């Protein structure tokens, strides 16, 4: 049986670039034809150039009918299928957003700069509630707040929340420093599902286990419910092929930095890495199927990654 390879949409962020240069954008990648197209070049004078490049690029991706929802650091953008902006939405409690996830008519956004999760009503175009994650002596808890008011949490980044996944079983959160994938139920009770490595990205439930970017070890991992562990080594390139090596003083821009991870179907997953590369993996055969590189500029890293849902 011939398997048709998927088409994906990806966002990228750029470390160490200067004002006037590109700071990433939105791309579609067709693995069947190996065609890559850039639809948005994120180059704005409002980018904050202080710190680790937290504002330099576009982040999580979700879909709402014919609209494409993409998060920047502190703003949610709504694009149409031709990548024309239809609207954008800010909130005082949205800071350093990473991933987003839609469930029914609600979009959930990570607010890394507030250790929080925000909920956005897709019909009202408004942020309707927030929850700040807390670590207490007896475990985890979630403090709910109203993001439409000034009476909310102070900025904090104790856990570096970088992932949210929402389905019929509840909300799943994780971050660089949570060391666990967390489940949040409808009563905002927070419980640990499983341990994950420090520094992980994109942890999410998959086939009864957990799928994640083990960023510190340069692997994509799938840990099944029975404890079996599949590990895919993230692609590295010969040093002489890397562009702008060593230009980022923060050392964040490095080869094999795994971030961006999506489920294509029950068998195939796709992971992002730097320099901006998207790799397709086969869980059943434990094989790397294909990889597409967008640029050899080490500063340019994949961030958001999702299957393209539309028929051409």
In the predicted model, what is the mean pLDDT of the chain? 90
Asked if 204 and 165 touch (Cβ cutoff 8 Å), the reply is yes
Whole-number Å distance between alpha carbons of 112 and 249: 22
pLDDT of residue 51: 41
* Residues 116 and 109 sit within 8 Å (Cβ to Cβ): no
How far, in Å, CA of 42 to CA of 29, rounded?
A: 18
Cα–Cα separations (whole angstroms), residue 52 to 249, 250, 257:
9, 7, 15
**pLDDT at position 110, please?**
98
Tell me the per-residue pLDDT of 141-184, one tens digit each, with 9 for 90 and over. 999 999 999 999 999 999 999 999 999 999 999 999 999 999 99
Q: Give the residues across from 75 on adjacent strands.
A: 90
> For the chain, which domains are there?
7-307 (2.120.10.30)
- Taking alpha carbons only, the member of 101, 103, 74, 102 closest to residue 88 is 74
Helix or strand or coil: residue 192?
A: strand
Q: Phi-psi category of 74—alpha, beta or left, where left has phi over 0 and alpha has psi -120 to 50?
A: alpha
Nearest-angstrom CA–CA distance, 152 and 150: 6
For residue 189, the tally of other CB atoms under 10 A from its CB is 13
- Model pLDDT, residue 246: 66
Higher pLDDT, 27 or 256: 27
User: For residue 311, what pLDDT is reported?
Assistant: 81
In this predicted model, what pLDDT tens digit does every residue of 3-53 receive, in sequence order?
789 999 999 988 654 544 556 799 999 999 989 999 998 765 454 544 444
Among residues 74, 94, 97, the alpha carbon closest in space to that of 155 is found at 94
Mean pLDDT of 196-205: 96
Sign for the pseudo-dihedral over CA of 290, 272, 64, 45: negative
Residue 219 above 50 pLDDT? yes
Residue count of the chain, please give it. 312
The token pair at 266 is: 């029950």
Q: How far is CA 33 from CA 2, 29, 42, 126, in A?
A: 15, 9, 25, 39
């Amino acid at each position: 049986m011939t398997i048709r390879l998927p088409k994906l949409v990806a966002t990228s962020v750029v470390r160490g670039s200067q004002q006037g240069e590109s700071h990433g954008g939105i791309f579609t990648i067709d693995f069947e034809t190996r065609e890559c197209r850039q639809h948005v070049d994120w180059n704005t004078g409002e980018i904050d150039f202080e710190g680790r490049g937290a504002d330099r690029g576009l982040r999580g991706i979700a879909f709402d009918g014919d609209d494409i929802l993409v998060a920047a650091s502190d703003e949610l953008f709504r694009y149409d299928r031709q990548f024309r902006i239809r609207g954008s939405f800010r909130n005082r409690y949205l800071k350093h957003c990473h991933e987003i996830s839609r469930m029914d008519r609600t979009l959930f956004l990570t607010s890394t700069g507030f250790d929080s999760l925000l909920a956005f009503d897709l019909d009202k175009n408004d942020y309707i509630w927030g929850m700040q994650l807390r670590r207490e002596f007896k475990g985890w808890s979630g403090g709910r707040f109203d993001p439409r008011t000034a009476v909310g949490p102070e900025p904090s980044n104790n856990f570096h929340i970088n992932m949210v996944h929402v389905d019929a079983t509840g909300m799943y959160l994780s971050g660089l420093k949570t060391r666990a994938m967390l489940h949040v139920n409808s009563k905002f009770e927070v419980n640990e599902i499983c341990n994950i490595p420090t520094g992980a990205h994109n942890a999410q439930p998959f086939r009864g286990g957990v799928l994640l970017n083990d960023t510190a070890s340069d692997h994509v991992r799938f840990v099944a419910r029975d404890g079996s562990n599949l590990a895919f080594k993230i692609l590295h390139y010969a040093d002489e092929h890397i562009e702008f090596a060593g230009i980022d003083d923060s050392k964040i821009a490095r080869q094999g930095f795994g971030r961006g991870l999506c489920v294509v179907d029950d068998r195939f997953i796709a992971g992002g890495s730097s320099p901006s590369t998207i790799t397709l993996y086969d869980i059943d055969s434990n094989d790397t199927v294909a990889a597409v590189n967008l640029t050899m500029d080490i500063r340019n890293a994949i961030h958001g990654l999702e299957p393209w849902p539309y028929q051409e």
